[in-house]
Chain A
């Protein structure tokens, strides 16, 4: 994560955006390679030495903040530092300071009143531990962060580093964000689920408008946001960004307050030069779904199965059914598969299904689960149980039940 002082922005009237760097530009490719090289050459050396080398390299260049940003990402994500000392530094300090207390004050040039100098004391400590006085001096504060040594460095490719930097810039912008608006259009359930996993985990609150065909408008902020503007939730919004980048069709609008009280907007969409470093979820949540989708496509029917899903807003949470069905006549229905769930998940799933009150929802429940038909009696829509695999024919039967042709 980049700190605010490393965030470079550009304002255009009511809009603000980070100064992204051109990943392909030879200038930045070279910069990234040079920095990675400096890190690689400092394996086994101290953080202080590494920092000094980076400052030296920066010299009087005016793009030093880009350099520092890149270096910060390397420090945070790619480096492992360790303490190296022949004797634990705390022991060395204890010995040394105890001796210096006996001879207080310790001075550099000996005289009649103070015959003992620091050299004498260091020698005594060295003798005790059978090490050199240099090792005593060096070890005394070997546990300070600046004296830690670079144990391992995993060099990324220049491209990876530069792309990561652009995303980190956008994230740093969101630290200051008070409110986030998203437009999402026809994404697959796995991506929506990933988004809402982050929203829930970071205790953000959502408000949703829209539907499957028109797309969704989602406003994100925190519990307190209704009482006062707060940047408290900015960090949560920043960590959420890479998950958004994995979506296919989206736009994001963030309100960024300036120190003078004015507000600017930071807008990005799926055309932004940003690549997520999060791993994309597989298209299907489970083999069960994948098999069903394949078999359904092979079945003879006018119903089309769509991967793009609806978001059912349950206010304090959401439900994202696995499939949408669409008939040429305009009829639609949803399918939720309750496959292999742990008991606590299952309980929550049941509650969601009840709360959703969707009559156009088919629920396919595995017989392997420890539930009975009674448990589903309050669920609107059609519920059926399956063993091993879901038969397209059975789903089609329920489709005609739930969404009959209008007469």
Chain B
């Protein structure tokens, strides 16, 4: 029999009925072949070896490497322990560490340890770009990119979940190790193909928050492996992370905005009262959406609802507060976060501060981040693209001008300024419009333990 990789699956060609059949294989009458999910490549090899079967293995198309990890830093104990935990589980598993504790370093150590062609999968183009920089520096070899307009495969390649699940049926046999960064994205119905269509016998997942609201994180066990190491933010704070304080600034809307806000709010509330809908649950929200598609009055109410949120999140008074904060930190490295790209560019134009959004091109983004880390820029304004794990060691002031109420997003924003540095105290400003819908959004996002710990 002959084991081959085809379109994200394994085929067992020329199989004789007298031979032992690996358990993952099923007869595919569509093509008259035995077929299995690529995910079970390693189990299949184990089975065939134990059964002392005679077979040719044409499935893998990856290389053994001799990479040298050029890292000036000695690994922290928690990084070393992570690696050992992973090795003990046959190099399959998930490492859980808080943002800012050097998860990527664990990834690099695993790549150096496995010495196989490796694919790193990251959730965003920005993180893909950052892994690209990281791998280039750490190993001094050519690194491929799959996603964001690039399509080059090398022994070390970085991709996004979006591109990985689309292309894995072609490249699923090109890698012996797959590193899934922010692995909580993987169990989605579509993204999981990125793990299922790959034969990689070695797999590593990295995350600060592996749990998913939909419960699908239980799939990680099959897709990647069990949790092999875990440390929380409180286990490491102060020791390996910078200390930080939180400052909350409330702003009064200017009179015209207040008037527009109240008018919009009254309009949609009147509509909802007339229809007997009370917002507050998913169901009532769906009702609102349906009503808005049925009549012009409903449509107007929905537009008013959006308008009132927009005013609260993006009030001009906030720009004044931002100006005050910038003046208070003339020599600090400041990151400014907003909820939408429109505000990012408004701030960039107003204060002539460089902006990074998902529309920023790779080269420019890289240059901006480098300049910021080296002090050639003192401020950066961004929306959601820097939320997850982008490395900005120099930042010590963060300003959250507006944001969604998602807890994860906020903790990750906090993580941004938690990079350890000699004598560095970090400040996080949260700017909230007074007496508006934003009060509630802010309350919800502060419910995380990392946020209650204010040292000021």
Contact = CB atoms under 8 A, between A and B. Distances in A.
Contact of A223 (B8, B349, B350): B8
Interface in A211-258: 222-224, 226-227, 230-232
Interface in A314-356: 315-316
Contact of A232 (B193, B323, B348): B193
Nearest to A144: B359
Contacts of A231: 189-190
A62 B295 contact: yes
Given A97-B352, A101-B377, A231-B189, A145 B37 contact: no
Contacts of B165: 232
Nearest to A125: B352
A121 interface: yes
Q: Which of A113, A114, A226 has the most CB of B within 10 A?
A: A226
Contact of A206 (B30, B190, B295): B30
Contact of A205 (B30, B296, B359, B376): B30
Interface in B41-80: none
Contact of A60 (B7, B300, B345, B376): B300
Contacts of B28: 226
A235 B39 CA distance: 23
Given A60-B300, A62-B294, A232-B193, A97 B31 contact: no
Contacts of B348: 140-141
Contacts of A207: 29-30
B327 interface: yes
A104 B169 contact: no
A105 B303 CA distance: 36
B293 interface: yes
A60 B303 contact: yes
B385 interface: no
Interface string B363-378: 0100000000000111
A137 interface: yes
B201 to A, nearest CB: 19
B451 interface: no
Contact of B31 (A64, A114, A316): A316
A140 B327 CA distance: 24
Contact of A104 (B193, B294, B330): B330
A164 interface: no
B354 interface: yes
A55 to B, nearest CB: 9
A118 interface: yes
Contacts of A99: 352
A282 to B, nearest CB: 31
Interface string B322-358: 0100110010000000000000010011111110000
Interface in A62-77: 62, 64-65
A203 B6 CA distance: 11
A227 B330 CA distance: 59
B338 to A, nearest CB: 15
B196 A224 contact: yes
B35 A223 contact: yes
Contact of A114 (B197, B327, B376, B378): B327
Chain B: number of interface residues, binned into ranges:
35 or more
Nearest to B364: A90
A206 B32 CA distance: 12
Contacts of B293: 62, 65
Contacts of A105: 323, 326-327, 330, 351, 378-379
B26 interface: yes
Given A141-B345, A144-B345, A315-B30, A107 B323 contact: yes
B9 to A, nearest CB: 5
B197 A118 contact: no
Q: Which of B26, B31, B351, B352 has the most CB of A within 10 A?
A: B352
Nearest to B345: A141
A127 interface: no
A84 interface: no
Contact of A145 (B295, B359, B377): B359
Contacts of A232: 165, 190, 193
A315 B300 contact: no
Interface in A184-204: 203
B352 A121 contact: yes
Given A145-B359, A227-B37, A96 B352 contact: yes
Closest 5 CB pairs of A and B: A100-B352, A105-B326, A60-B296, A223-B7, A60-B299
Interface of B: 6-9, 26, 28-32, 35, 37, 165, 169, 189-190, 193, 196-197, 293-300, 303, 323, 326-327, 330, 345, 348-354, 359, 364, 376-379
14 contacts: A60-B303, A96-B352, A97-B352, A97-B353, A97-B377, A99-B352, A105-B327, A106-B351, A141-B345, A144-B345, A205-B30, A224-B37, A224-B196, A232-B193
